[in-house]
Chain A
Amino acid sequence: MTSATDDATGPVLAADGTPLKRSLNRALRRQKLRALMLVAPLLLFILITFILPIGDMLFRSVENQIVSETLPRTVVALEDWDETTGELPDEAVFAAFHEDMVIAADQKLHTRLGSRLNYEVSGMSSLFRKTGRRVDRMDTDQPFRDQFIDVDKDWGDVETWSAIKLFSPEYTPGYFLNSVDRTLTPDGIEKRPEDQRIYVSLFWRTMVLSFTITFSCLLLGYPVAFLLSNLPLRSSNLLMILVLLPFWTSLLVRTSAWKVLLQDQGVINNTLVAIGILSDDGRLALINNATGTIIAMTHILLPFMILPLFSVMKTIPPSYVRAAKSLGATDWTAFWRVYFPQTVPGIGAGAILVFILAIGYYITPELVGGTSGIFISNRIAYHISSSLNWGLAAALGSTLLALVLVLYWLYDKIVGIDNVKLG
């Protein structure tokens, strides 16, 4: 009796005597581990070549150790200084600064710091360069304050010192504020002067243009994809090659071809003038503006819309539309109520693909966009390769990434991310 109850309530055992649950878990774990080992090379590859470098780059948007590392004593000494009094720091700060600068100039670090602070206050670059050259020759027995002011009167300016103090913490929100046209001041966060605000409007323009490009890709790509999936194989293959051919052509070649077509003295304008639709001085401005960017990028990104649409449309049995029609639906109803809803996963996939690609594009806008057709990525490229302000570039990049993630989240809420299919 007792043993029977035990059998009924006790754990079920596997053949080797261990509880079946545990044995099963172990087997599953082993299976998962094996699966993980199979993907491990790819996982490691992505981690090392993609996640880590991007993480490192994004981290630069807040990193600011350079000030406290180059001027450790000055930063400590400045803690007691109250910039709101409008008075210069005391002699102790200048002495600490002298000590720091001698070491920095010896290791050639002062000019790098100058470039960093120049992003915040114009003139810092030459101030540090000049001071670094003279700091060795200063008389250590005399008060340093006058000697520094003697080198450059900017050392007698409270603004110089409050900028150093403001950017002395190891991490700064300064780059992020800059990326949304704000700036860090001793009185808190302020909007940048009106004549220096560029980034918010650029982000907005990037979004609007990317949406426009996605939409025009959909408008042009949908009928093509429909044709491709419904024509007999012979003609649809030919059409497919026509879709893919530009896809295989170099991006620069295609962009330059658009220049030839669209410019004032270009093929389109000349033809329109020749057949009398336009007057000679009423030529259309099709390039070096947002129109140029939209036209060229729609063309370049079109295959990314057509291909997912095509592969989804291919899977829709033609019998559905025939069934709808035989039940009395008009052509339009059959299309709109029966066919179109089944292509939504393809539209979703194509739209996401085109939009994400468009938002990060930079070479085409740079070449055909003039001033009103450039994207935020053009400024990111400028700060990476020209101004060397990598912190700001990283902040702009992070903001763009965050914007894309928000849009992705919205898409998931409205359409549902499960409802995306590549075929």
Chain B
Amino acid sequence: MTLKKIMIGTASCVALTAGAASATDMTIVSWGGAYSASQQAAYHDPYMEANPDVNIINDESSAEAVAKLRAMNEAGNITWDVVDVVASDAIRLCDEGLALEIDADTQLAPAPDGTSASEDFGDLLVSDCFIPQIVYSTTFGYRTDMVGDTPPTTVCDVFDTETYPGKRSLEKRPINNLEWALLCDGVAKEDVYDVLETEEGQAQAFAKLDTIKDDVIWWSAGAETPQLLADGEVVMGSTYNGRLFALIEEQKQPVAMLWDAQVFDLDGWIIPAGLPEDRQQAALDYIYFATDTQRLADQAKYISYGPARASSAPLVGQHAELGIDMAPHMPTDPENAKNTFLYNYEWWADYRDDLDAKFQAWLAQ
């Protein structure tokens, strides 16, 4: 009798929570850490305030999002509502039919002056399924106390082990490294991908990387380079600009940015394909709110990534805690963006598998 009561009690509890869950919960997947915190402050909290019946749950699985979304899709049980991914992953998800196609002009907010969303985002709408949120860059930081009186000024100083002896940290993947190698081997910026498409061009890039191979520590997580710089393990290293900002401005380490030839990349939202109608509608409503001009500008208060909308740039203010102007720390700031490089998504979608095999074989040599 008691057992029966307990069981009925438990069952109704489960039913209640389940009922409550389906009515209000929205699972948003992102990268965790400072990045998720900036989204919480700029997007989630104001959205929940405006929509008291919605409860946003954070999931920090963006690094495995592509694989997990495919697994969910195959299992026919999609538990995520909105997912934050980098643009190349968004393209892959869109290609695999795992992300919902979104029409920027009808499903996103126009700029305050009436400019349509597609024009406001411009070239940054690199996939039909992807709503860009921030522009970040992969760039170099160096130890100011380890470079003598002549701090490095160009990306090619990374390849100059005579003037700047010591280890460098580079990401353990071909993307960006091959482009930098070619740029520093005399290839013009606009020809890089044409050259890299040929066998000789690839050999040329690897040959250039060969010259510093013994001085490189390869990283696979974004936090590694800041740590290596802080420990004095490397004299310079590549990582995401936001990580370097935290290292320089928040932790006050003797590190400076080398913005030269920074590679722009995008991070943004996708909505998984195959959501039930009501959840899809809720996700679209959230996206409409979270990617408008003011919201994108707000995020820059908490983290040094540039908003993806052109109309947001003038609204970027000061850091919420440090009180410093954020504009000079944005990768898109004119002073920093004198020499930039835009990651070619289409090209890498084609050549990634092939070059990755070659890169791994080269590393193992």
Interface residues of chain A, those whose CB is within 8 Å of chain B, are: 108-109, 111-112, 114-115, 118-119, 122-126, 129, 192, 194-198, 201-202, 263-266, 288, 366, 370-372, 379, 382, 384-390
Inter-chain contact A198/B357, CB cutoff 8 Å: yes
Residue in contact with A202 in the complex, picked from B92, B351, B364, CB distance below 8 Å:
B364
Residue in contact with A122 in the complex, picked from B92, B231, B346, B354, CB distance below 8 Å:
B354
Inter-chain contact A264/B167, CB cutoff 8 Å: yes
Known: A115-B96, A385-B67. 5 other contacts (CB 8 A): A118-B349, A119-B353, A126-B346, A263-B231, A370-B218
Query: Can you identify 8 A-B contacts, CB atoms within 8 angstroms?
Result: A109-B97, A118-B353, A125-B350, A264-B167, A265-B231, A265-B232, A371-B218, A390-B70
Residues of A within 8 A of B63 (CB): 385
**With A108-B97, A385-B66 as given contacts, are A201 and B364 in contact (CB-CB < 8 Å)?**
yes
Residue in contact with A112 in the complex, picked from B95, B172, B349, CB distance below 8 Å:
B95
Looking across the interface, which residue of chain A has its beta carbon closest to that of B65?
Answer: A385
Inter-chain contact A111/B361, CB cutoff 8 Å: no
Inter-chain contact B217/A288, CB cutoff 8 Å: yes
B60 at the interface (CB under 8 A from A): no
Among B232, B350, B351, B362, find the residue whose CB has the most chain A CB atoms closer than 10 A.
B350
Inter-chain contact A366/B220, CB cutoff 8 Å: yes
Cβ-Cβ contact count across A and B, 8 Å cutoff:
86
Residues of A within 8 A of B357 (CB): 192, 196, 198
B352 at the interface (CB under 8 A from A): yes
**With A122-B350, A370-B218 as given contacts, are A196 and B95 in contact (CB-CB < 8 Å)?**
no
Residues of A within 8 A of B363 (CB): 371
- Complex-state Cα separation, A379 to B361, whole angstroms: 12
- Give the distance to chain A from B249, nearest Cβ to Cβ, in Å: 23
Residue in contact with B64 in the complex, picked from A111, A129, A263, A385, CB distance below 8 Å:
A385
- Complex-state Cα separation, A119 to B353, whole angstroms: 6
Residue in contact with B94 in the complex, picked from A111, A118, A192, A197, CB distance below 8 Å:
A111
Size bracket of the B interface:
20 to 34
Interface residues of chain B, those whose CB is within 8 Å of chain A, are: 63-64, 66-67, 70, 92, 94-97, 167, 172, 217-218, 220, 231-233, 346-347, 349-354, 356-358, 360-364
Inter-chain contact A198/B95, CB cutoff 8 Å: no
- Complex-state Cα separation, A112 to B92, whole angstroms: 9
Residues of A within 8 A of B351 (CB): 122-123
Inter-chain contact A198/B364, CB cutoff 8 Å: yes
- Complex-state Cα separation, A384 to B167, whole angstroms: 31
Looking across the interface, which residue of chain A has its beta carbon closest to that of B349?
Answer: A125
**With A195-B358, A201-B364 as given contacts, are A123 and B350 in contact (CB-CB < 8 Å)?**
yes
Inter-chain contact A198/B353, CB cutoff 8 Å: no
**With A129-B95, A370-B217 as given contacts, are A384 and B67 in contact (CB-CB < 8 Å)?**
yes
- Complex-state Cα separation, A293 to B138, whole angstroms: 28
Looking across the interface, which residue of chain B has its beta carbon closest to that of A281?
Answer: B165
- Give the distance to chain B from A185, nearest Cβ to Cβ, in Å: 15
Residue in contact with B353 in the complex, picked from A192, A372, A389, A390, CB distance below 8 Å:
A389
Residues of B within 8 A of A371 (CB): 172, 218, 363-364
- Complex-state Cα separation, A388 to B92, whole angstroms: 9
Inter-chain contact B361/A197, CB cutoff 8 Å: yes
- Give the distance to chain B from A34, nearest Cβ to Cβ, in Å: 25
Q: Give me the 10 closest cross-chain CB pairs, A-B, nearest first.
A: A111-B95, A122-B354, A385-B67, A371-B363, A196-B357, A198-B360, A198-B361, A108-B97, A123-B350, A126-B350
Residues of B within 8 A of A263 (CB): 231, 233
- Complex-state Cα separation, A371 to B172, whole angstroms: 9
- Complex-state Cα separation, A371 to B214, whole angstroms: 11
Inter-chain contact A126/B349, CB cutoff 8 Å: yes
- Give the distance to chain A from B301, nearest Cβ to Cβ, in Å: 31
Looking across the interface, which residue of chain B has its beta carbon closest to that of A120?
Answer: B353
Residues of A within 8 A of B358 (CB): 195-196
**With A126-B346, A197-B361, A198-B357 as given contacts, are A114 and B217 in contact (CB-CB < 8 Å)?**
no
Among A115, A382, A388, find the residue whose CB has the most chain B CB atoms closer than 10 A.
A388
Looking across the interface, which residue of chain B has its beta carbon closest to that of A392?
Answer: B353
- Complex-state Cα separation, A163 to B97, whole angstroms: 23
Looking across the interface, which residue of chain B has its beta carbon closest to that of A115?
Answer: B95
- Complex-state Cα separation, A126 to B94, whole angstroms: 13
- Complex-state Cα separation, A371 to B173, whole angstroms: 11
Inter-chain contact B350/A264, CB cutoff 8 Å: no
**With A126-B346, A386-B66 as given contacts, are A264 and B233 in contact (CB-CB < 8 Å)?**
yes
Residue in contact with B92 in the complex, picked from A108, A115, A366, A384, CB distance below 8 Å:
A115
Inter-chain contact B66/A195, CB cutoff 8 Å: no
Inter-chain contact B217/A111, CB cutoff 8 Å: no
- Give the distance to chain B from A373, nearest Cβ to Cβ, in Å: 11
- Give the distance to chain B from A92, nearest Cβ to Cβ, in Å: 29
Residues of B within 8 A of A390 (CB): 70
- Give the distance to chain A from B270, nearest Cβ to Cβ, in Å: 14
- Complex-state Cα separation, A197 to B360, whole angstroms: 9
Inter-chain contact A195/B92, CB cutoff 8 Å: no
**With A196-B358, A288-B217, A371-B363 as given contacts, are A387 and B350 in contact (CB-CB < 8 Å)?**
no
- Give the distance to chain B from A121, nearest Cβ to Cβ, in Å: 9
Looking across the interface, which residue of chain B has its beta carbon closest to that of A393?
Answer: B67
- Complex-state Cα separation, A129 to B361, whole angstroms: 29
Residues of B within 8 A of A388 (CB): 66-67, 70, 92, 96
Among B64, B232, B346, B357, find the residue whose CB has the most chain A CB atoms closer than 10 A.
B357
Residues of B within 8 A of A372 (CB): 364
Residues of A within 8 A of B97 (CB): 108-109, 111-112
Residues of A within 8 A of B64 (CB): 385
- Give the distance to chain A from B57, nearest Cβ to Cβ, in Å: 22
**With A125-B349, A265-B231, A265-B233 as given contacts, are A387 and B95 in contact (CB-CB < 8 Å)?**
no
